[in-house]
Amino acid sequence: MGILSKKTAFVASILACLIANLEAKAIPKPWLNKNLPEEKRVELLLKEMTLEEKIYQLNQLVKGSDKNENNVNMWYKSQKINPLNGSYLYASQSPEMRNAIQKMAIEQTRLGIPIIFGYDVIHGLKVISPMPLGQGASFNLDLVEQASATAAKESQRMGLDWTFAPMVDIAFDPRWGRIAEGYGEDPYITSRFGEATVYGLQGRNPLKDLPRPDKIGACLKHFVAYGASEGGRDYNFTAVTRNDLFNFYLPPFKAGVDAGAVTLMSAFNDLSGVPTSANYFTETEILRNQWGFDGFIVSDWGSVVQLINQGYAKNRSQAAKLALEAGTDMDMVDKVYIENLEKLVQNNELDVKVIDESVKRILRIKFRLGLFDNPYVKIYPKEERYYAKEDLAIARKLAEESFVLLENNNNTLPLKAKNIKTIALIGPAADDAVTMLGPWRGHAEPNKTPTLKDALEKQFADNIKIIYQKGCDYKKRNLNLDTEKLAEADVTIVCIGENGKPSSENNSRSGIYLEGDQNKLIQEVKKHSKKVVSLLFTARPLELETIKKNSDALMVTWYPGSEGANAIINVLFGKVAPSGKLTATFPRYVGQVPIHYNRRNCARTGGQGNYRDASTKPLYSFGTGKSYTTFKYSNLKLSNNEVSKGEKITATVTVTNTGNIDAKEAVIWYITDPYATITRPRKEVKFFEKKLVKAQESITYSFEIDPIKSFGYYDDNGKLILDKGEIILQVGNQKAKIMCK
């Protein structure tokens, strides 16, 4: 292009912007009247929109460098800005650039419809909390809500309006890498933690709390049954019965919708023959018609075009039609709506009313988040945006309460600093900040995250010698250990597990063993050490029999986050007693999977049907978790041992701390329905509560029982039913029978 042509093009672009500005100012915009009801504002705006403007609202592109390694080699790059687009997956860290893009949408388009900016903030943006599987193990809803509020605040200060979290998929198979992103294998627990995350991100009443400058929109994902992928293989087919769908996989989504989550994300999986990104039954009949959800659904990354790979759509045009008609309102990154919807309408293959409904849902949430009234984010000084001391303190507390003590032979823990002169610190996770942060670590800065080696050397610089050896890598067969140095140490701390990659998207494994020479490492350490404390860094259950046999103490620390190292030291040295409990069963070996606690009964008793060549009992059951003290459960009482629909009764139990250390105890209430119209799991969690119980003191925990909520279950059509008959209530070693009349 010549110089004159370039000048001509430049002048033309300036003129186009000026004309767009003049047109935008000339159009009356009654939908900007803040005093009008939300729905009226949506209707007024929709009425003015052209078909092209509507279709662009259904489109999400990418701005910035997406750090998800599973998307790096796909066709997209950071895409060219079009201010008509409804959304951007905003991977940049610049709120200034975000505001500049938003200004283009407000000032350079005919109607000035703001863009909604979203990003994956799974367990923090800068301040990182433990992986969600670890958060579930904390049994502390308040801390999870506070940590999610931190994530919302930091995200908003980076320029985000919306995050693709929480993930509330139920997963029973630890081979599936994304088990890390959920809260475990129990629907009730996942429901409560999903709620807590939504509350932290959006506020407890989004219709009143939104918009707020420190809150962003939540997105429940992945809708639905994605965690049931065959063999734990990501993106694969899931075969789920209607009964399991309603009783295991849907309840956490229903809880999130009831908590006010403004969006959902469709999933990658083919659900019993109909892919979830084009599943009218789940997206429209259940979510919208039964539950009354009024927000919008965004597809997962490229999941609309992937309907072709799944054999459900023959081309991009049909994929777009099937997904939109099913209820997937916004297409993430693959442009199939932009390319095909207008032509489908023109050919009378798609009713424009379907487009209108999706556009209304997206506009509704943009109004609800305040984007029309306050389209720009406040620009804070850089030092005020992230890593606030109070936010790091929340992350540390949550990490402390997430750790699960599995073994503590001869009271190896807590360690007593006054009796220790030398610590041997061994293993690939001992000096690795990335492992501390784990996968999906937002925009965290590893150089601001202390490793365990850093934290130990800083805290005990004057009185304890730290001898560090990596020992081996995570995966390589490269054991390299100076065993003579181990003999010098009073205690050896071994840090093993998986690095941040394996427990995440597209990281399915055929086995759940520790890779490389890590098992050999622990065996060698045990031979030459006085005491061995093993710390397991992971976000999935792993095979741990070798580790168990060669450890005096064993604690799961998950990927503990920005303050993980300091939290570990606080627990190891007894400043805080461990109080985490497993929300996912740890098998002895992968051949036992599925081995979740809430399975149904076998047809024959007495061990028939069990494996002939190995145990059928897990290594560590759901709910396992030791403390530095002991708790005694006693005096389970019912306000009435009979209950009818519409009534409530109260169950109480006394918990006594029989040791000499103050500690928190998470009390988990289970029920068993021995005989039901549709068979029920062996036992199910129906309530939990965590409290501090001081040494030698007793406190009372209570559970208010609503028979429909506590004992009811869904039939194959999603109808909530309540059988008459006996229910067994269990808490700790205490049991009681309740007659449901």
Give the pairing of strands 162-163 and 642-643.
unpaired
Catalogue the active-site residues.
300
Q: What values do phi and psi take at 500, rounded to 5? A: -65, -25
Q: Report the residue count for the chain.
A: 741
Q: Which helix or strand (DSSP H or E) is residue 665 part of?
A: strand 663-672
- Find how far residue 565's CA is from the centre of its chain: 22
Cβ density class 78-108: b for 16+ within 10 Å, e for less: ebebbbbbbbbbbbbbebeebbebbebbbeb
Strand 422-426 with 465-469, pairing: parallel
User: Do 315 and 342 meet the contact criterion of CB atoms below 8 Å apart?
Assistant: no
The token duo for 424 is 């041997």
Q: Where are the beta strands (DSSP E) in 363-487?
A: 404-408, 422-426, 465-469
Category of 162 on φ-ψ map: left (φ > 0), alpha (ψ -120 to 50) or beta: beta
Return the HEC string of 169-202: CCCCCCCCHHHHHCCCCCHHHHHHHHHHHHHHHH
Sign of CA dihedral 368, 371, 372, 373: positive
The C-alpha angle 298, 132, 655, rounded to 5 degrees, equals 135
Classify 317 as helix, strand or coil.
helix
Closest CA to 721 of 645, 651, 641, 648: 645
d(CA 189, CA 556) in angstroms, rounded, equals: 19
Q: Tell me the one-letter amino acid at 557.
A: T
SS percent in the chain: helix, strand, coil, step 5: 35, 20, 45
Nearest to 355 by CA among 326, 329, 319: 329
Q: CA-to-CA distance for 279 and 431, rounded, in angstroms? A: 46
Say if residues 211 and 373 touch (Cβ distance below 8 Å): yes
HSE-CB for 732 with a 13 A CA cutoff: 18
SS3 label, residue 217: strand
